[in-house]
Amino acid sequence: MRYVSTRGTAPELGFCDVLLAGLATDGGLYVPEVWPPLPDLSDVRSYAEAAAAVMAPFVGDEIPHDTFSKLCNDAYATFRHDAVVPLVQIGNDEWLLEQFHGPTLAFKDVALQLLGRLFDHVLSQRGQRVTIIGATSGDTGSAAIDAVKDCANVDIVILYPAGRTSAVQRRQMTTVDSPNVHTAAVEGNFDDCQDLVKAMFNDAAFRDRMGLSAVNSINWARVMAQIVYYVTACRSLRATADAGVTFSVPTGNFGNVLSGWIAREMGAPINDFIVASNSNDIMTRFINDNDMSARTVTPTVSPSMDIQVSSNFERLLFEINDRDGAMTAEQLRRFRHAGSLHIEADQVARWITPVFRAARFDDAATVAEIRRVYESSGQLIDPHTATGTAAVHALDATRDGRPVVTLATAHPAKFPEAVQQATGILPSLPMHMADIFDRVERINLVSNDLAAVQAFVEAAVTRH
């Protein structure tokens, strides 16, 4: 399998180079040159086996299949549920797909546990080391740290805004005791952290000296790993082409829902998708009103969806443009300048309307929804998941009797305040994390200044 850039001018690469590169050199995102059909899964017995089979055509012959299967086994053995990503029924024809049984309690673990192992494997084959740098508002940082904490060939440095993550999120990062894990509490906000990361990548001498790499949500391997649970959910529900599943997806960067769209292209029996947003509703405005214009980010009770530009949408845009990279690059250049993206009405009618519905919910509606689901099913759900079930309810998506599945993207105990406000119940952390408030934290306060952060990274990575 070869990979092409959505902006058309970067060199074609194989899987391992795409994995390590993250972004293409023309600023685009890598996608496979074709969408392969789903393999026959009739003999598959476990999630890890399904994962190895579904992803095999994307990896090609770059990693021996036995090795790749073992990496999948190891990655999904870290989940605390035998089904890895299990379904739970919450209503007639209505299910939750629980994606939070991994080490850090959010859906990011599903992709990142595999990504860490893929990085370590490829780097050791090549005799290379990298320093992964990332900025986080909470979930990605802890999931990335957990994924690479035992990797011999990876150092990781995560920047987070001091005082602006939840206590659980911060402690999941600062209590990990591994010599290759480093965190910096930046005296600024999340955008400052992201700007510092970008500036470090743009400093070519620093980038090459430190061997900088990234595992953010535009990395193709993350999108790839997320295809699997759409396929296994359809299988568990015995879905058929005539009675395909509707998936409701709490959406920020458009990575999770894009993976579902790919599963559908590969032949999974999926009817359509509901894109659920919080007040940061750029994707909902686009799907409902063909208005893709960036606004300022509003903080909400579902912080992992507080995003104003959904970067993974670029991969769908490339398809809408019949894989014309030059046209995609030009549209994105205009989007950056004008702050809005225009897509022709006939393209929307062909690509968007038949496959996507959307709805948005503010904090009050989200909290009310947590209460409604608790009262109707006894399930506690987190505020991200609540936007998804609220959209199912608002659009009356179970009306035609198809199975409707909301992706439960985080464990309720990761966002306890909203859950307690809604239900009066303080959700408890799973056992492996029950002592997180007793563990020793290592907090490194760093000023919001490029030179200071670079000095921190250099010292942290060379010290051990």
Ligand X SMILES: *Cc1c(COP(=O)(O)O)cnc(C)c1O
Q: Point out the residues that are catalytic.
A: 108
Contact stretch for ligand X (CB under 6 A) within 49-57, 79-87, 248-256, 264-272: 248-256
Closest CA to 453 of 175, 62, 162: 162
Q: Mapping DSSP to helix (H, G, I), strand (E, B) and coil, where does residue 382 land?
A: coil
Binding segment (CB under 6 A) for ligand X, from list 63-71, 103-111, 170-178, 395-403: 103-111
Residue placing its CB nearer to ligand X in the complex, 28 or 141: 141
Using the contact rule CB under 6 A, the part of the chain among 10-18, 104-112, 161-169, 179-187 near ligand X is 104-112
* 108 lies in the site for ligand X, by CB under 6 A: yes
Measure the CA–CA gap between 129 and 121, rounded to whole angstroms: 11
| Cβ proximity to ligand X, 30 vs 107, nearer residue | 107
Read out DSSP for 20-82? HH-B-TTS-BEEESS-PPPPP-TT--SHHHHHHHHHHHHHTTSS-HHHHHHHHHHHHTTSSST
DSSP 443: -
Q: Which stretch binds ligand X (CB under 6 A): 37-45, 102-110, 174-182, 290-298?
A: 102-110
Which of 39, 56, 113, 45 shows the shortest CA–CA distance to 79?
113
Rule CB under 6 A: which of 385-404 touch ligand X? none
Nearest approach in angstroms of CB 54 to ligand X is 18
Q: What token pair was written down for 255?
A: 């990575």
Under rule CB under 6 A, residue 277 binds ligand X:
no
Q: Does 139 bind ligand X (CB under 6 A)?
A: yes
Which pair of tokens denotes residue 410? 């985080």
Enumerate the β-bridge partners of residue 82.
none
Closest separation between CB of residue 305 and ligand X, Å?
5
Does 216 engage in binding with ligand X (CB under 6 A)?
A: no
Q: What angle do CA 444, 446, 449 make, to 5 degrees?
A: 160
3-state DSSP helix/strand/coil percent for the chain, to nearest 5? 45, 15, 40
How many of the chain's residues bind ligand X (CB under 6 A)? 17
- Using the rule CB under 6 A, which residue among 250, 269, 403, 412 binds ligand X? 250
Give the span between the Cα atoms of 185 and 290, in whole angstroms: 39
Of 5 and 256, the one with the shorter C-beta distance to ligand X is: 256
State in angstroms the smallest separation of the CB of 105 from ligand X: 9
Residues 403-432 contacting ligand X, CB under 6 A: 409-410
Any contact of residue 217 with ligand X (CB under 6 A)? yes
- Contact status: 456 vs ligand X (CB under 6 A): no
CA separation for the pair 268, 250 (Å, rounded): 20
Query: Is residue 213 part of the contact set for ligand X (CB under 6 A)?
Result: no
Residue 271 interacts with ligand X (CB under 6 A): yes or no: no
Shortest distance, position 217 Cβ to ligand X, whole Å = 5
* Segment interacting with ligand X (CB under 6 A) among 76-84, 87-95, 249-257, 426-434: 249-257
Residues 300-319 that bind ligand X (CB under 6 A): 304-305
- Which DSSP string corresponds to 202-267? H-HHHHHHHTEE---TT-HHHHHHHHHHHHHHHHHTT--STTPEEEEEE-SSSHHHHHHHHHHHTT
In degrees, to the nearest 5, what angle opens at C-alpha 89 toward C-alphas 79 and 254? 65
Distance separating alpha carbons of residues 357 and 288, to the nearest angstrom: 7
Q: Which stretch binds ligand X (CB under 6 A): 19-27, 56-64, 80-88, 245-253?
A: 245-253
384 binds ligand X (CB under 6 A): yes
- The answer to whether residues 138 and 125 touch, using CB atoms and an 8 Å cutoff, is no
Q: Which listed residue (58, 119, 220, 254) binds ligand X by CB under 6 A?
A: 254
CA–CA distance, 286 with 85 (Å, rounded to integer) = 30
Nearer CB in complex with ligand X: 356/456: 356
Record the tokens describing residue 43, joined without a space: 């003999």
Q: Which residue lies nearer to ligand X by CB, 121 or 414?
A: 414
Say if CB 117 and CB 148 are below 8 A apart. no
Give me the least distance between CB of 43 and ligand X, in Å please: 31
Q: Is 261 in the site for ligand X (CB under 6 A)?
A: no
Task: Report angle CA 238, 242, 243 to the nearest 5 degrees.
Answer: 50
Comparing CB distances to ligand X, the nearer of 107 and 286 is: 107
* Beta carbon nearer to ligand X, 183 or 406: 406
Asked if residue 256 binds ligand X (CB under 6 A), the reply is yes
Distance between CA 26 and CA 125 in Å, rounded? 27
Which C-beta is closer to ligand X: that of 161 or that of 250? 250
The least CB distance from residue 413 to ligand X, in Å, is: 12
Residues engaged in binding ligand X (CB under 6 A): 106-108, 139, 217, 250-256, 304-305, 384, 409-410
